Structure 1
Amino acid sequence: MTVEGAEPGTVRPGGRTARVREAVLRAAGDCLAERGFAHLDLADIARRADVGKTTVYRRWGTTTGLVADLLVDMAEQSLPRTDTGSLIGDLKANARLVQRTLTDPRQGALFKAVIAAATCDERTAEALHRFYETRVEEWAVCVEQAVARGELPPGTDAQEVIRAVSAPLYYRLLASGGPLDEAFADRAAEAAAAAARAGAYRG
C-alpha cells in the first residue's frame, strides 16, 4: 500500500505515511473496541484520525482491508518472546501475556470484535490467522529449546504446544466465562507442559 502519488518504496518509513497509518489504525482499533466490526465506517475512522477521507478510501479501500492492516500492525507491535531458560517459565510467560492482553479493557474488546468479524468475513479471517501464526511461530522457539535441553520428547510439535497454552484462555473469554486471571493462565501453561512431557504433542 502506498500514499497517493508515491511510487512503491519511495516513501520514507517514519514520514507522513507512517504517521497517517498510525493515526488511522489507532482510530480503527478504538472504534472496534467501542462499537464492534458492524459499526466500523471508513468516513468515521477518517474523522477520528483527522485524516482526509480520500486518503483512507484510497489506501485501505474497505473496512476489511483496514482490519487486515490493523492485525498486521498488532503483530508488529506485540511484545517479544520471553526467554526464562525453562519450559514452564516460558509457557507461563506466554500464558500471562495472553491473559493480560485479553483482560485489558481496550485490547480485550478489540480482539472480541476482530474474532467476531472473522467468523463472517474471509479476508478478516485470513488476516487473523496470519496474526496468530506469527505469534505462535515466535513462541514455538521456547518449546524447541526445551526439546534440545531434554525437557520434552524428541518430535514434539512446538506450535501445537503453544496453541494449547492459549486455547483455554480464549475459550474462557469467548464461551465459558469465569475469571480470566493469572492463576488460570498459569494452570493453562502447566497443563500444556504436562501434556507435552507425556508425549501428547509428538509428531
Structure 2
Amino acid sequence: MKSKLSVLFNVPNIIGYIRFILICIAWKNITDAKIFLLFFGANCMLDMLDGIAARCLNQVSNYGAVLDVVVDIFGRGVTWCFLGKYGYVVPAWEWFVFACNHAQVRGVQWKEQFKLAPKLVKRVMSHNFKTPLGMLVMCGIFGLPIALYCDQYTTLPVIMPTVFSACLCILGIGRLLGFYVEAWCVVQHISKMLL
C-alpha cells in the first residue's frame, strides 16, 4: 500500500511545483517582458502536461487537483496585480470562488455541483470545459491577463492593432462569462451555508 505522503511526489504534482518556481522566476522579472513571457509561457506549457500525466500515470488525486488550481490562480494573480492599481481585485475574486467551490465539495468532485446549474453554466462546464463556451471562458480567464500585459509592456509588430483589439474583446467576453459562472458558484455556496 502506498503511503499518503507519496502523493506529494506524484509526477503531476512535481510538475505543479516546477510551475510554481517558473512563476516565481517570471514574477521576479516581470518588468522584462521577454524573460517574463519566456518563464510564464513555460509554466503554461507544463500546465497542459500535468493533467495528461495524472490520467496517463493513474495519479489523479484531490491534492493534485487543488495544487493545479492554486498554481493557476497564483500565476494569473501575479500578472493581474502588475497590470494596475486595482489589478488585485480579479485574483482576490478567484481565490474567493476557489474557497467557495472547495469548502463543501472536496478536490476533483467540485464539478459535480453543476448538474443542477442553469443551461449557460452547464454549457460552460460540460465535458471539462471542452465545449466552445468552455474554451471561450478558459481563454478569457488565462489569456486576458497575458494579452493585457503584452499590450502594456511589449510591442506586437506582427499583430495589427485592429486584430489585437478584436482578440482583447473576445478574451474580455470570455472572462465576463467566467465571472457569471463564478458568481453562480458563490451564490450556491452562500445558499448552502444559509440552510
Normalization by structure 1: what TM-score? 0.34
Greater length-normalized contact order (CA 8 Å, ≥ 6 residues apart): 1
Normalization by structure 2: what TM-score? 0.35
